[in-house]
Amino acid sequence: MLQGWLQIVLTLLIVVAITPFFGRYMARVYQEQRTLLDPILNPVERLVYSLIGVATKENMTGWQYARAILYSNIVMGLLIFFIIMNQGWLPFNPTKIGAPTWDTALHTTISFITNTNQQHYSGETYLSYASQMWGLGYHMFTSAATGLAVGIAFIRGLTGRPLGNFYVDLTRSITRVLLPICIVGGIALMAAGVPETLAGPVVFPTLEDPNISQAIARGPVAHFEIIKQLGENGGGFFAINSAHPFENPNGFSNLILIVAMISIPTSLIYTYGLFANNTKQAWLVYGMVGVIYVTFIIITAIGEYNGNPAVNALLGSTQPNLEGKEVRFGWAQSALFAVTTTGTMCGAVNSLHDSFMPNGGFVTLSNMFLQIIWGGQGTGTAYLFAYLILAVFATGLMVGRTPEFLGRKIEKREVVLASFLILLVHPIAIMIPAGIALAFPDQLAGISNPGFHGLSQVIYEYASAAANNGSGFEGLGDSQPSPIAIATGATTTTTALWWNLSACFSLLAGRYIPIIGLLLLADSLSRKQQVPFTAGTLRTDTGLFTGVTAGVILILGALTFFPVLAFGPIGEAFWIARGIG
């Protein structure tokens, strides 16, 4: 037990230690200050800007920034869909995999351009190396960089600066942040035992029967794995994601993956503090989110360590819940990974979330409902400060004073945009398709578990899509037959078609509507004149206000989603405690 908790504590200490250094570096990158990489990357970036015809000093309005994102994402989406549907004749296809069904290709395309990477397929049997590298791997960089660009544009607007230029922010996010770390991280993963090869599967006779051969899939995994984690993408090269020994072979690689997926969202809060010239507020906000994050880790880890009461009664002793987990990671690293991947909206998994105790189901769903612990790539930080704006508004109502944030008045437009983003879009993208699926459990939902757990499976799928997380509770019939199975006569299913198309609605609504709203909110704040601080000004860099913000976050989340949690993991917990489960 002590060893497991020590692993968790040491990992968190590493994350906290790198926050100010990485946060300061990103502030320098996006303020276009000098960095060590300038001599190498300045000529490369100038070439990119000249090729795409970008005026680097031209600032965009909120609508212009949003349109640039939408136009570029449409073009990139068409590219990935073309690659997947034509992978049969493209190179780097050693197993000669044909095209998947159109609905699987469409869902995969939308999933990856939205930085969700929700997978209704098994990577090693559905996609060629070309599709994995040129299609998915390419979008792992661009979708993550898009989220980072939005987060930085929001921080600029929040602190009274012009929003900047999307194409410049996109380019610098890739060249200055993602790519350098991925080069180092990819090499570290190869050293840890992750393969990086274009060779096909290894076929050899089994020990049980030399006449029976077995194929072991491999591929260019290491470089794919590091951007999967760093960019909070989460889509695995193999079906079982970071539980696969070729993606995550040991404790060292697991540490790299956890630190990679949490490093940017945690450090971006410190970056905000440098932009606002108020690192005190940044650390207070960091601490607030950190307390919720650690609390969720403790809740999940206790549930996994104590195990299932029904199983313990049969064994006559308390045993950790190791169902659906890799022994090399155990209960502690599985719990830490699960809370982190749903908190950061990464979506990678090193264990089966469907097998977690109700504690884990409660926490993973709550993370995706709140979206700010630590939130998505860039957009999570923006969501966090949207909550701060609502907290400022609420406290302003209490004292009868026009609310202000960073010296700018929070008025009707800002409150409407922030409320729309937090209280309306996310629940709609989850509840409407989930309600339809639950109304037709046999025809559409394909639920493998009845009762409370079955409800959690359905809600989790849409929460994962709407939050751009991508992880799965599993247990749903959301996968069409593989191209190999189709070639041998397998037929497609209505259930999988429903999940592919309905999840696309949640993916698109959960990604682009909030991005547009965040950019308009930032644009509105950037145009406001700063008012002087007075004795009556509410300071937002105090422990009291930070506590109020935490209350606003938890109350809004509870009011919106508590009924779902009550009929899902909370109900399941009582069900198990009564000795039924």
Angle 346-352-358 from CA coordinates, rounded to 5°? 95
pLDDT at 103 (0 to 100): 93
Q: What is the largest CA-CA distance in the chain?
A: 85
DSSP 353: G
What span, in angstroms and rounded, lies between the C-alpha atoms of 451 and 461?
16
Q: How many CB atoms lie within 10 A of CB 7?
A: 18
pLDDT at 443 (0 to 100): 64
What span, in angstroms and rounded, lies between the C-alpha atoms of 482 and 503?
19
Three-state DSSP string of 218-257: CCECHHHHHHHHHCCCCCCCCCCHHHCCCCCCCHHHHHHH
Specify whether the CB–CB gap between 300 and 267 falls below 8 A. no
Number of H helices, E strands in the chain: 23, 4
What span, in angstroms and rounded, lies between the C-alpha atoms of 321 and 547?
34
DSSP 196: B
Specify whether the CB–CB gap between 167 and 68 falls below 8 A. yes
Cα–Cα separations (whole angstroms), residue 111 to 116, 129, 387, 425, 436: 5, 18, 26, 18, 21
H or E element, residue 215:
strand 213-216
What span, in angstroms and rounded, lies between the C-alpha atoms of 214 and 528?
66
What span, in angstroms and rounded, lies between the C-alpha atoms of 431 and 343?
20
Q: How many CB atoms lie within 10 A of CB 218?
A: 19
pLDDT at 535 (0 to 100): 65
Task: Indicate the pTM of the whole model.
Answer: 0.94
Residues of the chain with pLDDT under 70: 400-401, 442-445, 534-536, 579-581
Angle 358-362-363 from CA coordinates, rounded to 5°? 120
Domain extents in the chain:
1-205+213-578
Helix then strand then coil, % of the chain, to nearest 5: 65, 5, 30
Q: How many CB atoms lie within 10 A of CB 318?
A: 11
